Structure 1
Amino acid sequence: MFTGLVERTHKIAALEPSSEGIRLHLEKQAVSAINGDLAPWNDLLRGESIAVNGACLTLVEEGDTLTFDVIHETLRKTSLGQRSPGDGVHLERALRVGDRLGGHYVTGHVDTLGTLERIDTGDGEVIWTVSVEDSSLVRTVPKGSITLDGVSLTVVDSELDRFTIALIPHTLEVTAFSDRKEGDLLNLEMDHFGRWVQALLADHNPLSSGGDHS
């Protein structure tokens, strides 16, 4: 479980093809950090879960790089396979009991991909319009929460297949979002509680089943 408050941004050192998918190598030194400390983490444990651009991955090695195995299923459902060496990715370690929950509950299970359709700037903020690849998997509401590439954000406006979010200067400073451009793919995770509400409503909606409702 995560919160969507990205702790650090690290650059991709290498993407190594493997029979299971790819082996993702990240530089140990951060390029930005929410607490300003860019030094390598000194208490990582092999096998621990870390959200990488919003996808929960297992740390398999910690040597010259931080190494994660990304299987084919994860590559199909996320944008990790579209990234390149030198790109920045967001890292967040798992939530500990007693930690402050400054964002919202994030599972690290990406629901679908979104496309950064439009970037507008003005009044000290940046507005993104994001279109949703599969709107049946992600529903948004104004002032609701959404996770983009592992970052907990608040929806400004919402339509069935797209939504807008506002990025403040601090978010752009401590994330890799300043490098994103129109057309880029983003990992989307719907609000955990909203997902359950959606599932429960679908279960009780006679039009959502395949029977004869005439």
Structure 2
Amino acid sequence: MFTGIVEDLGTVTQLVRGADFARLSVASDVVVTDRTRIGESIAVNGVCLTVTGIHDSTFTADVMHETLRRSSLGTLRRGSRVDVERAMPADGRFSGHLVSGHIDGTGEIESIRRDGIATVYTIRAPRTLLRFIAEKGSIAVEGISLTVTFADDNAFGVSIIPHTADHTVLPERRVGDIVNLEVDPVARYVARLMAMDGHNDGHDEGTADGKPGGAGAGGTAASPLTRNFLIEHGF
């Protein structure tokens, strides 16, 4: 589990491509020299990878074909800079939001504009992902925990401050570039619960008195989770 708070800007030192995989090597003094071990998880541009080797200040990880196909890692080359974050320790500070490192898909940068000290990025994304993206909600872009400034049926916006610009790869991205996206996992679970609302899985346990529970003749319990309930409680 990660938080989307980038620890270091690493540099790709090698990218060896096989028929259906790639082996990625990234130099990162901050990450590697601070007790990183083989087998640990590290997020590279938001993609959770397993450390398979360590040499001096460089770590190596294998990238599956599915990951190359569904993320922006396939566009990396030697010399590319990448956002790097180690998995969050159990006693660590939770500064971002829940980030699994399992990319939901990619988006395309549609526009970049200045807004005072901040830089606003508009990112076009598939509608299958936009349904989980809400204004003032959280989104991970290239592994960076960001707040959504607006969202419509075609795109969403994020705004970054100078500190984020100085410590992540986002300022290196240009209009038309592809970026990794991971939506807030809470939104996914809420959508799943809503989709299953009112469906009986055939395993109702009944009420406390042993009688079949629920509002209907078939004993299906009415779910307390409704759209109105979520709206009333701020979701």
The answer on 1:122 being equivalent to 2:115 is yes
For the Cα contact (< 8 Å) 1:22–1:69, is it kept in 2? Answer: yes
The answer on 1:54 being equivalent to 2:51 is no
> Which structure carries more strand by proportion?
1
Q: CA deviation at 1:40?
A: 4.5
Q: Which runs of 4+ in 1 moved over 3 A?
A: none
Question: Whole-Å Cα distance in 2 between the matches of residues 142 and 26 of structure 1?
Answer: 34
Question: Whole-Å Cα distance in 2 between the matches of residues 136 and 78 of structure 1?
Answer: 16
Question: Whole-Å Cα distance in 2 between the matches of residues 13 and 203 of structure 1?
Answer: 47
The answer on 1:44 being equivalent to 2:24 is no
* 1:112 alignment partner in structure 2: 105
Relative contact order (C-alpha < 8 Å, sep 6+): which is higher?
1
Q: CA deviation at 1:195?
A: 1.0
For the Cα contact (< 8 Å) 1:20–1:70, is it kept in 2? Answer: no
Q: How many pairs were matched up? A: 197
Match of 2:156 among 163, 171, 175: 163
> Aligned in 2, Cα 1:42/1:97: closer, same or farther, shift over 3 Å?
closer
Please identify the structure whose Cα radius of gyration is greater.
2
Counterpart residue type for residue 59 of structure 1: V
Aligned-partner SS, 2:127: coil
Q: CA deviation at 1:41?
A: 1.9
> Aligned in 2, Cα 1:67/1:120: closer, same or farther, shift over 3 Å?
same
Question: Whole-Å Cα distance in 1 between the matches of residues 147 and 118 of structure 2?
Answer: 13
Q: CA deviation at 1:87?
A: 1.3
* 2:62 alignment partner in structure 1: 69
Question: Whole-Å Cα distance in 1 between the matches of residues 32 and 102 of structure 2?
Answer: 26
Q: Between the two proteins, what is the percent identity of the paired residues? A: 39
Counterpart residue type for residue 129 of structure 2: L
* 2:3 alignment partner in structure 1: 3
Aligned-partner SS, 1:136: helix
Q: What TM-score do the two structures reach when normalised by structure 2?
A: 0.79
Counterpart residue type for residue 42 of structure 2: I
Question: Whole-Å Cα distance in 1 between the matches of residues 18 and 42 of structure 2?
Answer: 20
Q: Which consecutive unaligned segments of at least 5 residues does structure 2 have?
A: 200-235
Deviations along 1:170-189, one digit per CA (max 9) or x if unpaired, are 10011111211111111100
For the Cα contact (< 8 Å) 2:7–2:31, is it kept in 1? Answer: no
